Chains A and B, each alone.
Chain A
Amino acid sequence: MKSPIYVYYQISNFYQNHRRYVKSRDDKQLWSPKNERSSSDCKPEDFTSNGQPIIPCGLIAWSMFNDTYKFSVKDKVLEVNKKGIAWKSDREHKFGSDVYPKNFQSGALIGGAKLNSSIPLSQQEDLIVWMRPAALPTFRKLYGKIEVDLEPNDNITVIIENNYNTYSFGGNKKLVLSTTSWMGGKNDFLGVAYLTIGGLCLFLAISFILVYVLKPRPLGDPSYLSWNRNAAGHLN
């Protein structure tokens, strides 16, 4: 496998697209320290018990994924680059470089990862990745990149710190290593679909041509007009 090799974690049965979940965020708060007071959208993770705003607020941030993976090949540790895994636009414009986590995961129920409150949100790339909720209940998210090539038949040892609780919703976790082509990650669907549809279209085209050749209808012949046909039929 040629580098970069993308490391994804895949979670299933996690409805990140649930309406309660998707709405449970405050983009203004993430954007600028001026909008520190979290909006009511973030309930129940909006304020601490003593009324301090939680930054970042909301269920999405609260439930952030916190498993960690360590890779090694032939006892050689593979570095996983966690920089640049989030969208550049998010890092630079959406998540403020002067917004720092505050009162995060301080409640009685810990939903997931904790954040280093000395690092601004714009550099918390795991958070940024997690904050783009997945479209479907089974989804992958980018964990990091391995920037060395892997040889065939290499044995990769992975040390997984299983922190994230998927038992509560009956979900599975998967670890995926993948490269990308110009088409993105590996997915046969498009190829198969194109071949099938292409074949079907070809078949239709040929059959239309055959119809045209074998049983042509003179185009625009007025004698085919319904009343003309009727008149003809009437004579018989």
Chain B
Amino acid sequence: MTSGQPLLSSSDSEPPKRIRSIGSFGCLCRDASLTSSNCDDNQTNVVEVNAEQSEEEQEGDLAPLESLFSRNPLKHPYPLAAKREVYSAELQSHQRFPLACPTLDQKRQVAWGSMELASCNITNSAPLGRSGAPYMVQDKSGKSQRVRHKSMQFEDNQLCEEDSRLIYINDPRRTNEKYEFTGNEIRTSKYTILTFLPKNLFIQFHRVAYLYFLAIAALNQLPPLAVFGRTVSLFPLLFVLSVTAVKDGYEDWRRHRSDRKENNREALVLQSGEFRPKRWKDIEAGEVVKIFADETIPCDMVLLGTSDSSGLAYIQTMNLDGESNLKTRYARQETASAEFEGFSVSGLIRCEQPNRNVYEFTANMEFDRQKFPLTQSNIILRGCQLKNTDWVIGVVVYAGQETKAMLNSATSPSKRSKLESYMNRETFWLSVFLFVMCFVVALGMGLWLVRHKEQLDTLPYYRKRYFTMGKDYKKTYKYYGIPMETFFSFLSSIIVFQIMIPISLYITMELVRLGQSYFMIGDKHMYDSASDSRFQCRSLNINEDLGQIRYIFSDKTGTLTENKMLFRRASVFGKDYGDYEHVGDLLQETNTAGGTVHRRKWKLKSEITVDSKLMKLLHKKSNEEERLAAHNFFLTLAACNTVIPIIHDDMEMIEYQGESPDEQALVSAASAYGYTLFERTSGHIVIDVNGEKLRLDVLGLHEFDSVRKRMSVVIRFPDDTVKVLVKGADSSMFSVITKDIESGDHLWHETQDHLTQYSLQGLRTLVVAARDLTALELEQWQCRYEDASTSLTERALKLRQTAALIESNLSLLGATAIEDKLQEGVPETIESLRQAGIKVWVLTGDKQETAISIGLSCKLLMTDMQHIVINGNSEAECRNLLADAKIKYGVDERNENLKQRSGAESNNQGLHYDTKSFEKPQWNSVKEEKLNAPLALVIDGNSLVYILEKDLESELFDLATACRVVLCCRVAPLQKAGIVDLVKSRTDDMTLAIGDGANDVSMIQMADVGVGICGQEGRQAVMAADFAMGQFRFLKRLLLVHGHWNYQRVAYLVLYNFYRNAVFVLMLFWYILCTAFSTTSALTDWSSMFYSIIYTSVPTIVVGILDKDLSHKTLLQYPKLYCAGHRHEAYNMRLFWITMVDTLWQSLVLFYVPVFTYRESSIDIWSLGSLWTIAVVVLVNIHLAMDIQRWVAITHAAVWGSIIITYACMVVLDSIPVFPNYWTIYHLVGSPKYWITILLIIVVALLPRFFLKVLGQIFWPSDIQIAREAEVLKWPGHVQPKGKQAST
């Protein structure tokens, strides 16, 4: 009787009711299942057939009803019998070809392989990235691709029947014999002891830099090329490799340790009839696991039963998405009451293949010959914790690496910074220099050899032949003929000049960015105490891009606003309530009267001010229409949602937890008006209506989706009337509301007026409606609903179609207005960003009025701005609107300018220096044309559909870039990405996208820099972002202060590194010209190798991390200083060439001063080399010291310390008797000539640079220079730079 029991007792649960409502056949069917429950297993087949028949008959019964649906031309779901055939065929095919495995492997590869691929996206669940991968490729792609995305986006998460995964409940053996499901053992570690060395090396050599090192070192091993000693030449490579290997090894060891800990945890698993502890790593798919309160869930499981009789369980998904609120999960009624211990349960779950989407789960379950759907609310995921529930029992569906938590652990995409791509361009020039130098040396060598051809045999310093008697007599040694010698000399000069290509720069930059992000993370001004979230750097590649942002694309809700919703106003039955100007007076009255009028039993966490007029209306005992509407209105607010009430008994407090802050606000509001949502299970809800408990059966729930933009719930009242309660966005609601009644027409207009009013105040609006369902309608709907929700394919679509059945002819009840408060400091931030020359575009899903009013309140839109509104409903309309606007505001001319500019910029990025000149004429042209006011463009999602998909993109771009502000409302997530792409693909300007929700992920990944806000909407945005922070206002500091600093630092770092290496290489080059082109280096091998690794590397890193050109106060005070980044002031071609000319001069001085000083003297090669080593190290360090803006102790230590370390190394190297350079340094330091020479080198080398610097500062001071002077001299009116020291 075990399986029969639920059928009998749960008369209110859905499936039996379906049967009942079907009519006579349904009864038959129920009998059949009742009998079956008495049968033994071997009889099941018969019953199975029986059931099948009855189902077929049901189908037959349904057929006549089809005509009723004809209003909505829907495809009828295919007959169940046919479906079953598909299943069995399916099964066979799986047996023959294990289809699941290849796809799995493939996916794993994607996850492991490379970051670039993993970049696709986190939101997307399609196993092979159906819509994910093309996303990134989209860049400059045609529109066709984007069109495809749009059509795909909703069907993405649907389960393909072919791909379903079969889980036999409590039968892990059978479950696992067909496919190779992974066990529950997880491995986040990359290496084992055996594979560490090869694998780590393999991964490391993926970098071009290391390959370059390797190639040079390998070249050096060839006998004719051995420029440096064999071991010496390997040193840089080994150094870098071993440092990285140690770091990787340590990290992996830690991962191993945590894996082991995780794998050896224990959970209770049903084994031969009873729950026995089993280690996590041994758990398999199909097993039944029991978990107690506060335990962590070991794998992804479908809930079978919980300690709660209604099958309710609470989980915390903190580890998964960072949301700390409790979420409810349900066991299906059918399984909730089944006994597991001591009985052998069986059942079958068909579910989709493992994917990364934590917010979707599509499956169905066959249990006790019933088939029912499973959704997201029936699954608990690995990593979550069980809360407020004594125990749950679940069956494992995904284990180990296939769990959603593990699939989601990929890192965010890696991006390359703009500066780095410029740097690569300059690196190309450096390679040209390198090639030229090597060519000169090789040519010189060749000519020299030809000239001395006759003498080579006996030349004392060349002597290519043996003259020793014996077998070697007259043989040549180390001589391969002139052409080969020339070629070898080319190769060996590459070895000598190898550091001309500043490979170490890449490693230096990584370290520098690491240090920069350490300080960014530690910045207490970017710490959000409210959410206890610090700034996060999730990507370490693009710190300096923050200093060059020109466009910011911002989400509105949760980014500009707090996403903490407050119920503000309501329009009930055409009357507006909640106007605070009136309420203010009435408030006291309410408070005094409140005690008598209603007993408020439940305290709420948030206080809501109640409009007494509305309260009074509700407490009228009359049955007039208005009162009923108000009653239904609040009933809808309380019932039509997915909020979970959590009752704290001790405090008589009720707390609402839900995934949507809007719903929480509405439920709280309903509660304040006496309609307290009290209990919610999957089958029913209990609402406390002014003390009376009202139990409502929930027959079905159509959740909110972005197509319908509404949510509905079907409720059976105790008096057996059935109502559908709907709430939704106004645009989608008015089309399904009847307005043929006389009074309804009035109501309709009133409500719409109110809605407009609310939107103008910046409130978020929802329309509430309801209607009674007739028995016939209910029946129809129930059949379709049942079918749709058990469907494995296109469930969302079918549900949508089902919802359309009942969401029609609704009667309007009213509308709500919720306030979403602006975050602190948003207007100031936007103002500063605008001053800094950054264009802020707001992309929001809200409607136009709301968007505009929010735009006004955050000072994005100014009252003096000219608004251009593009609101087209067809392509032609949009085209006209765009063209009109362009003509009216004279954008075309500006557009020409813009094109010229972008052309000029792409030609000679750096040399084109004067941004001011192109900024101004454009504005002038606009001004001269017609208007004095800046422009603001408002465009809605509908128009964007036409514009982005058609060839109007460039039109929009021209118009949008002419505007100061662009506001896009009603945009879909993919459109957000489309808009970012619009700008990104058309300009060289940097874009930044900031958002907080899953809908911003696409935009965040598309933009050059993605910023996530750790808000109320979970962590999806944060996971996809490069940077994450707690508040929008931190953006100001992030860009104006840190962005500026990082840009200046990294730009200088790159130029300095070019200089540092080039000056050294050039010095070697000049010397080689004095050695008969024989690639001799006067410096010892060790010094040559140490130069860029030890002697000069630390100061650059320290300066790259710590140098600050201006204090943060100054930067915040003058946001326009940020424009330096836009103008590429710190790094451009011009600066590169200036640096190179300077380098040339310095290297000549470095070489010739000692040569002239020691001309015709007895100086030996190592003494001169030693002098050069010291001179070049001192020179580059003093060069750096000249440019350091902010000296702190550690900078001093690094700069002077590295000179001291150089000396120390020289002393050590010169103290080893078997080195030819033995004791050189001791001789040198005793000679005054040595010191005087070094001094002369430094002064002469740096004189031109110093002179030009002073000249520039006197006559052409940059903004940064002036601001710095003001800072240092405490110019009146300027902030006192006291905080300068403290600001670290």
SS of A interface (majority): mixed
A159 contacts chain B at the CB level, 8 A cutoff:
no
Within the complex, the shortest CB–CB distance from A181 to chain B, in Å, comes to: 10
B478 and A27: CB pair below 8 A?
no
Closest to B1275 in A: A220
Q: Are A220's CB and B1164's CB within 8 A?
A: no
Q: Are B461 and A90 in contact (CB under 8 A)?
A: no
Interface 1/0 per residue, B1213-1227 and A, CB below 8 Å: 000011110110011
Question: Quick one: given A15-B1078, A44-B472, are A22 and B467 in contact (CB under 8 Å)?
Answer: no
B contact residues around A138 at 8 Å (CB)? 1159-1160
How many residues of A are counted as interface, with CB atoms below 8 angstroms from the partner's CB atoms?
74
A44 to B477, Cβ gap below 8 A? yes
Contact A17 B1271 (CB under 8 A): no
Q: Which of A15-69 contact B (CB under 8 A)?
A: 15-22, 25, 27-28, 31, 43-45, 47-50, 59, 62-63
CA distance A166 to B757 in the complex (A): 104
B554 → A minimal CB distance (Å): 25
Q: How far is the CA of A112 from the CA of B1237 in the complex (A)?
A: 35
Q: How far is the CA of A107 from the CA of B470 in the complex (A)?
A: 10
Whether A133 pairs with B1164 at a CB distance below 8 angstroms is yes
Given A28-B1218, A217-B1258, A190:B1240 Cβ within 8 A: yes
The answer to whether A225 and B1080 touch across the interface, beta carbons within 8 angstroms, is: no
Chain B residues whose CB sits within 8 angstroms of the CB of A153 once the complex forms: none
Residue B137 CB within 8 A of the other chain:
no
With A28-B1218, A184-B1233 known as contacts, the answer to whether A18 contacts B466 (CB < 8 A) is no
A44 and B1274 CA atoms in complex are apart in Å by 73
* Binary contact readout A100-112 vs B (1 if CB under 8 angstroms, 0 otherwise): 0000000111011
Known: A193-B1153, A197-B1240, A222-B1270. A17 touches B1075 (CB 8 A): yes
For residue B436, CB closer than 8 A to chain A, the reply is: no
- Report A44 CB to chain B, min CB distance, Å: 4
Of A71-79, A144-152, A200-208, which binds chain B?
A200-208
- A220 near B1240 with CB under 8 A, answer no
* A134 lies within 8 A of B1271 (CB): no
B1247 within 8 A of A: yes
Among the listed stretches B78-86, B415-423, B452-460, B626-634, which one makes contact with chain A, having 4 or more residues with CB under 8 Å of it? B452-460
Contact pattern, B 1167-1196, Cβ under 8 Å of A = 1, otherwise 0: 111000000000000000000000000000
Using a Cβ–Cβ cut-off of 8 Å, how many residues does chain B contribute to the interface with A?
Answer: 80
Determine the chain A residues whose CB is within 8 A of the CB of B1268 once the complex forms. 220
B916 within 8 A of partner (CB): yes
Q: CA separation between A32 and B1208, bound complex, in Å?
A: 27
Contacts of A212 in B (CB 8 A): 1258
State the Cβ distance, A101 to closest chain B Cβ, in Å. Answer: 17
Residues of chain A within 8 A (CB-CB) of B462 are 18, 20-21
Residue of A15, A19, A182, A204 touching B1079 (CB-CB under 8 A): A19
Q: Which chain A residues border B1163 with CB–CB below 8 Å?
A: 134-136, 139
- Chain B residues within 8 Å of A89, by CB: 1222-1223, 1226-1227
Interface contact A108-B469, CB-CB below 8 Å: yes
Q: Which of A157-181 contact B (CB under 8 A)?
A: 168-169
Closest to A224 in B: B1266
Across chains A and B, the number of contacting residue pairs, with CB separation under 8 Å, is 221
At the interface, yes or no: B1261 with Cβ under 8 Å from chain A?
yes
Does A123 belong to the interface (CB within 8 Å)?
A: no
Separation of A221 and B1074 alpha carbons in the complex (Å): 52
Q: Is the CB of B1231 within 8 A of A184?
A: yes
Task: Specify the chain A residue showing the minimal Cβ separation from B1250.
Answer: A204
Determine if B439 is an interface residue (Cβ-Cβ < 8 Å). no
Residues 1253-1282 of chain B: 1 if any A CB is under 8 Å from the residue's CB, otherwise 0? 010001101010011111111010110000
CB under 8 Å from chain A, chain B span 587-643: none
* B465 interfacial by beta-carbon distance below 8 Å: yes
Set B460, B1079, B1233, B1236: member contacting A59, Cβ < 8 A: B460
Residue B1157 is within 8 A (CB to CB) of chain A in the complex:
yes
User: Is A118 an interface residue when CB atoms closer than 8 A count as contact?
Assistant: no
Q: What is the CA–CA distance of A63 and B1168 in the complex, to the nearest angstrom?
A: 22
Does any Cβ of A come within 8 Å of B1251's Cβ? yes
Are the CB atoms of B463 and A59 closer together than 8 Å? yes
Closest to A200 in B: B1247
Complex Cα distance A217/B1261, Å? 10
A204 CA to B1254 CA, complexed, in Å: 10
Query: How near does chain B come to A77, taking the closest CB pair, in angstroms?
Result: 25
Measured between alpha carbons, how far is A42 from B1270 in the docked complex, in Å? 66
Contact with A17, one of B452, B1080, B1233 (Cβ below 8 angstroms): B1080
Residue of B nearest to A50 (CB): B470
Query: From B1277, which residue of chain A is reached at the shortest CB distance?
Result: A222
9 residue pairs, one from A and one from B, having the closest CB atoms? A220-B1269, A220-B1270, A49-B470, A89-B1223, A63-B460, A109-B467, A21-B461, A49-B469, A132-B1164
B-binding residues in A (CB < 8 A)? 8, 10, 14-22, 25, 27-28, 31, 43-45, 47-50, 59, 62-63, 87, 89-90, 93-94, 107-109, 111-112, 132-142, 168-169, 182-185, 187, 189-190, 193-194, 197, 200-201, 204, 208, 211-212, 217, 219-222, 224-227, 230
B residues in contact (CB < 8 Å) with A: 227, 452, 455, 458-463, 465-470, 472-473, 477-478, 916, 920, 1074-1076, 1078-1080, 1082, 1118, 1120, 1153, 1155-1169, 1217-1220, 1222-1223, 1226-1227, 1231-1233, 1236-1237, 1240, 1243-1244, 1247, 1251, 1254, 1258-1259, 1261, 1263, 1266-1273, 1275, 1277-1278
Known contacts A20-B461, A197-B1240, then 16 further A-B pairs from the complex at CB < 8 Å, ordered by chain A residue:
A18-B1080, A21-B462, A28-B1218, A43-B478, A45-B468, A49-B469, A89-B1222, A107-B469, A108-B467, A168-B458, A187-B1161, A193-B1153, A194-B1240, A217-B1261, A225-B1120, A225-B1263
